[in-house]
């Protein structure tokens, strides 16, 4: 795998590990979850985004596009079959309505960006989180970045879908990680293949191997609560029983966020769930509490 494109480096994060953190979002993922909260991170290649709410209709971009891939009357504005992704239109756009999604950066550039927040890390017990997309698609790059920030005594954390080669992971990234947030979405392998594009046997095996490392890194399993897909009693009970059998006493449940629909539209991605009312709404408190109870009844804190 070539070096990654970086989707975003987000500072001052309080939701991706302990303390104040800088989160590096990689572009590219081996899963194809329909409900992905970061759909712009799925493809490893750079993409062109269009936000109509930011557009001032100056038409600067129309003059820059040599392929006439842009038209005011065209649904979505961009003919993505014509677009060569040269990003001349995005470079010229004065409002930021057109933008490039994904940029090549060297490890040194990413490290320099995150280490600007070193005082915040040290004062809050925070650090650097690798997220995505999927950082383990780019293990050598990720390992070098982790090693670089670790040399500054910075806490390191990986957010992963769990689909990776264990031998390569244990050789490259694992020695430089303090913590791992590990997603377990669906226990039934056929359902996992249907909803995420791949079976789950390797994911579950990698989770088990991580636990066998003896607490270093610390591992937190996480399950996104997707209405009618992952938040069913059957699926959550199976996940809770799996964790209980491995001696896991703590997990995280991530309430569903429907804001991803708008992100998909900006990059011209199809949305097969557009007419699904359950996937268009935020989860109610009662549903979240029902899901939590499935774990807490088994003695797993969430």
The string of DSSP letters for 92-127 reads H-SSSSEEEE-EE--HHHHHHHHHTTHHHHHHHT-E
Phi/psi for 48 (5° steps) reads -105, 125
Residue intervals of the chain classified under CATH 3.30.70.20 are 47-101
Query: Where is pLDDT greater, at 215 or 4?
Result: 4
- CATH homologous superfamily of 5-44+102-296 equals Aldolase class I (3.20.20.70)
DSSP 263-281: HHHHTT---TTTT-GGGGS
**Has residue 107 got a pLDDT over 60?**
yes
CATH node for 47-101: 3.30.70.20
User: What angle, rounded to 10 degrees, do the helices at 285-296 and 233-245 form?
Assistant: 30
Q: According to the model, what pLDDT value does residue 3 have?
A: 84
What does the alpha-carbon distance between residue 229 and residue 154 come to, in Å, rounded to a whole number? 37
The length of the chain is 302
Q: How confident is the model at residue 213 (pLDDT cuts 50, 70, 90)?
A: very high
Cα gap 251→220, rounded to integer Å = 6
pTM of the model: 0.94
Are the CB atoms for 266 and 40 separated by under 8 Å?
Answer: yes
CA 218 – CA 157 distance, rounded (Å):
9
Q: Lowest-confidence range among 95-99, 171-175, 269-273?
A: 269-273
Question: What local confidence, expressed as pLDDT, does residue 179 receive?
Answer: 98
The per-residue pLDDT for range 26-75, each reduced to its tens digit, is 999 999 998 998 999 999 999 999 999 999 999 999 999 999 999 999 98
R_g of the chain, CA atoms, integer Å? 20
Six token digits for residue 50: 């269009």
CATH 3.20.20.70 location in the chain: 5-44+102-296
CB 247, CB 212: distance < 8 Å: no
């Amino acid at each position: 795998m070539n070096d990654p494109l970086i989707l975003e480096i987000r500072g001052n994060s309080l939701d991706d590990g302990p303390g104040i953190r800088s989160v590096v979002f990689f572009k590219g993922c081996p899963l194809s979850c329909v409900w992905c909260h970061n759909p712009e991170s799925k493809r490893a290649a750079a993409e062109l985004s269009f936000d109509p709410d930011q557009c001032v209709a100056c038409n600067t971009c129309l003059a820059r596009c040599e392929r006439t891939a842009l038209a005011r009357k065209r649904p979505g504005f961009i003919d993505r079959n014509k677009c060569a992704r040269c990003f001349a239109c995005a470079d010229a756009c004065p409002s930021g309505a057109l933008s490039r999604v994904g940029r090549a950066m060297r490890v040194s550039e990413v490290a320099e960006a995150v280490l600007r927040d070193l005082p915040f890390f040290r004062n809050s017990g925070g650090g650097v989180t690798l997220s995505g997309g999927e950082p383990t698609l780019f293990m050598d790059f990720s390992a070098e970045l982790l090693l670089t920030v670790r040399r500054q005594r910075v806490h390191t954390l990986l957010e992963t879908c769990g689909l990776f080669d264990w031998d390569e992971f244990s050789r490259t990234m694992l020695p430089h990680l303090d913590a791992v947030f590990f997603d377990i979405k669906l226990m039934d392998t056929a359902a996992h293949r249907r909803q995420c594009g791949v079976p789950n046997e390797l994911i579950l095996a990698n989770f088990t191997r991580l636990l066998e490392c003896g607490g270093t890194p610390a591992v937190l399993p996480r399950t996104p609560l997707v209405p009618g897909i992952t938040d069913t009693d059957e699926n959550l009970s199976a996940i809770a029983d799996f964790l209980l059998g491995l001696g896991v006493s703590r997990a995280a449940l991530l309430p569903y966020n429907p804001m991803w629909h708008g992100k998909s539209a900006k990059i011209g991605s199809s949305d097969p769930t557009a007419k699904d009312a359950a996937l268009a709404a935020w989860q109610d408190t009662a549903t979240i509490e029902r899901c939590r109870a499935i774990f807490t009844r088994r003695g797993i804190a969430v």
